[in-house]
A and B are shown apart, each in its own frame.
Chain A
Amino acid sequence: MKKVFTTMMGASMVLSLLAGCSSGGSTSGGASTEPAKEQAAATADSGSGKSDGKKIELTYWTLFAGGDGEYMDQIISNFNKSQDEILIKNVKLEWAEYYTKLVTGVSGGKGPDIGISHTSKLPELIKAGVVTPLDDTAKAAGLKWEDYNSNILSSATVDGKHYAVPIDTHPFIMYYNKKHLQTAGLLDGNGKPILEPGADGFVKFLTTLKEKLPKDVTPFAFSNNADDPYRLWWALYSQQGGNDVISDDGKSPAIDMDKAMKAANYIKDLYYTSKVIKPQDPDFYKTFQSGKGAIMMTGVWATGTWETTKDLDFGAMAIPNIFGNTKTWGDSHTIILPVTAKEDPKKREAALKFAMYATEQGGQIWAKAGHIPADSKVFESDGYKALKYRSDYKAVASDVVFPKVSDKTWPKNDILKKYLDEIWLNKTATDVVFKKIDSELKTLLAK
């Protein structure tokens, strides 16, 4: 009796452990249990949920946190309320893990029905076989590509095929503190900065701020490393008409060295020659938000945050014309339909219906986060024009210089950022840095 008992105990322990393993293993590379649960719910319903009048349930993986996330939630719940055929279930994933989970999830047949992708990441996902073209489904769902901003749309088009429905573009722009500009006498009657175009004009603007403002206010709140100086470099490189850093076939680096170095040195001088940036500010968002910075530059997503900050009287505009135009860095969020284990045309069509809703009706809500809507109807609408600040930078949508379509864009950016940091930190000479970048890109692109 005792023996039987122990044997059963042992067996049940083993079984429960095994069960634990298998469910753990299926959540796509250690993903949180949330997507698995949602997935289970979705698949359980999909059998009965298509034809007999019940709702089509779609899982939607997103990477939006904070403010963005709330606006997306609002779009989804509005959509779910607006009709009773389709139900969208939002699964919020951690930004940093999102793409890894998406790729492993899809490859394991556990991916979502709808996903989000940056256009810069899209070619990589296409190459990995995570997303497929949408043209047939778009035709069936009645989606018109010409509704979208052509600059943004072209960045989501690979080899003439549409792979994603663009929601927005989020360019790199400039914010300014009106109070400080006023003090320095650099604000005109319309509340716009008095700023001469050209490389010297911007430096003069900043040095005037430096002279006229109290010592604890930094003229230009900015960081010394990583994303934002890189984005400014990209903007200034593009303003000079610099070729993308990779060749047309994507196989080798093609940096316009003179222009690249000119842009890099211009930024370096802001740190070390005119000294208008607080060195190595650990949190330049906070510096600007607390009124300790006269201007700052980052993506448009900050608008929503500044707006809700008390006592921050700010303005937003395209980054200054330094090398002849206002071309800038930008990326764009798009809606993708990841490959699923059972491709269901009805589900795909339903997903695109949601995509159309999210970009059209949802576009207005999404714009509140600060993003520029990709749908031309929203872009031209009075509602959007009436939004404060956004209309000041909406034209930037056409100024965004997207990177060349390549499945190596993200690793390429990592290399650029890593080495450009050495210039911003005054560690390595600019030409040496670009030699390093060139050689590492060579290795990366040859793979």
Chain B
Amino acid sequence: MTTNEIELEKRVVRVSSRTKLKQWGLDIKAFLFLLPFLILYILFTIFPMIKGLQMSLYDWTLIKKMDFVGLGNYVTMLHDAGFWRGLWNSTLFVILSTPTMLVFALLLAVIANQKTRLRKLFRSVFFLPSVLSVSVVSYVGLFIVQPYTGFLNNLLKLLGILSADQEIFWLTEAPLAWIAITGITLWWTVGLNMILYLSAMQEIPDDIYEAGRLDGATDYQMFFRITLPLLGPITKTILMLQIIASYKVFLQIYIITRGGPGTDTRPIIQYIYEEGIKNNHMGYAATMSYALFAILLVVSLIQMKLNSNKGAA
């Protein structure tokens, strides 16, 4: 190696170490900026998750009186009618709400995507309820469906569908209560799905429609042959998000029916809340939370699997 070469080597080393150092500096800076989030994430997401798993193995009360029970809570859960009832109620809500949410979101997106002057109005009107808090939504819903003074029954009377001294008790008959809850939730949350659909629709290139029009396709055909298939990926995303969101239903039901009549509309999250906070069985509540977590995980995995299979085919 000539001295020149050695010199060069040294310089390369120096340069690369300098770039490395520079890189490190950048990394540290980036890390520092990420640190606040990371700390919060660990503190409020990772740590509670691990703590929850630990709690599910203990007879844990609100004031941390702990007895290790191993898998005892899990065994109790499997024999607990309340758990199964709650799980079924939540599943029922998923079954009722998910297709409704998809269809209505698509419908509204189509309306909001029309090239009319009302387009902006439609978009804001449909999305507006999403801004409201759950308590506002629930009370508005309650004022609509409650007997005697509720808007809905009075409207039905006005239209002559109900006679003057007839009342429909929306909140105390299980099927009706579910319709009321689903309707209120739909009105509240459909806007978000609509926005997702809307943005996906706008990404469909115009020339496809142009080509379709040249080939003489009707609007109807263009919607079912072009729009709908191209919305496939977003539909899958919305489906997954909606299933997870629907499984987590709690507050609107809690405010509107309190889970009643009896336990007919009590979702699993409410049961978890009641066991944990009201009845002081935090350990058992954690166990059921993990069961729900496992179910959602499986649902998501199945769906991802299905999606990837379809993608390959």
Contact = CB atoms under 8 A, between A and B. Distances in A.
Interface in B54-103: 61-65, 80, 82
A427 B172 CA distance: 9
B205 interface: no
B261 A422 contact: yes
B279 A279 contact: no
A100 B285 CA distance: 15
B204 to A, nearest CB: 42
Contacts of A3: 25, 29
B262 A421 contact: yes
Contact of B278 (A13, A14, A410, A428): A410
B63 A129 contact: yes
B113 interface: no
Given A418-B260, A421-B262, A428-B262, A13 B36 contact: yes
A383 to B, nearest CB: 39
B169 interface: yes
Interface string B160-204: 000000010100100000000000000000000000000000000
Interface stretch (B144-152, B218-226, B290-298): B144-152
A106 B274 contact: no
A21 B33 contact: no
Contacts of A444: 279
A7 B167 contact: no
B63 A21 contact: no
A225 B146 CA distance: 14
- Which of A128, A129, A282 counts the most B-chain CB atoms under 10 A from its CB? A282
A107 B64 contact: yes
B43 interface: yes
B39 interface: yes
B191 to A, nearest CB: 28
A341 interface: no
A302 interface: no
B300 to A, nearest CB: 29
A51 B115 CA distance: 79
B39 A18 contact: yes
Contact of B32 (A7, A18, A411): A7
B263 interface: yes
Nearest to A21: B43
A17 B277 contact: no
A279 B261 contact: no
Contacts of B35: 10, 14
Nearest to B35: A14
B258 A280 contact: no
B261 A421 contact: yes
Nearest to A104: B62
Interface string B251-287: 0000000111111000000000010011111000000
Nearest to A444: B279
Nearest to B172: A425
B40 interface: yes
A128 B36 contact: no
Contacts of A93: none
B280 A282 contact: no
Nearest to A278: B148
B260 A421 contact: yes
B258 A226 contact: yes
Given A280-B167, A414-B278, A103 B63 contact: yes
Contact of B146 (A18, A21, A282, A440): A282
Nearest to B174: A427
A225 B260 contact: yes
B105 to A, nearest CB: 32
A281 interface: yes
Interface in B18-40: 25, 29, 32-33, 35-36, 39-40
A224 interface: yes
Contacts, number: 86
Given A225-B260, A422-B261, A17 B62 contact: no
Contacts of A366: none
Contact of B63 (A107, A280, A411, A419): A107
Contacts of A425: 172, 261
A14 B39 contact: yes
Interface in A396-447: 410-411, 414, 418-419, 421-422, 425, 427-428, 440, 443-444, 447
Contacts of B65: 128-129
Interface string A254-295: 000000000000000000000000111110000000000000
Contacts of A7: 32
Given A128-B63, A282-B146, A10 B262 contact: no
A381 B207 CA distance: 91
Contacts of B167: 279-280
Interface string A114-146: 000000000010001110000000000000000
A109 B161 CA distance: 60
A10 B148 contact: no
Contacts of A10: 29, 32-33, 35
Contacts of B258: 226
A106 B274 CA distance: 21
A6 B29 contact: yes
A30 to B, nearest CB: 11
Contacts of B29: 3, 6, 10
A396 to B, nearest CB: 29
A123 B167 CA distance: 43
Interface in B112-171: 146-150, 167, 169
Contact of B148 (A11, A282, A419): A282
B159 to A, nearest CB: 21
Contacts of B40: 17, 21
Contact of B274 (A103, A414, A422): A414
A106 B277 contact: no
A225 B278 contact: no
Given A103-B63, A282-B149, A410-B278, A418 B172 contact: no
25 contacts: A7-B32, A13-B36, A14-B35, A14-B36, A17-B36, A100-B62, A103-B63, A104-B62, A104-B63, A128-B63, A129-B65, A225-B172, A279-B147, A280-B169, A280-B172, A281-B147, A281-B148, A282-B147, A282-B148, A414-B274, A414-B278, A418-B259, A418-B263, A422-B261, A447-B281
Nearest 8 pairs of A and B residues by beta carbon: A107-B63, A10-B32, A282-B146, A422-B262, A411-B279, A17-B36, A103-B62, A425-B261
Given A6-B29, A279-B167, 20 more contacts: A10-B32, A14-B35, A21-B39, A100-B277, A103-B280, A107-B62, A224-B172, A279-B147, A280-B167, A280-B169, A280-B172, A281-B147, A281-B148, A282-B147, A410-B278, A418-B262, A425-B172, A427-B261, A443-B80, A444-B279
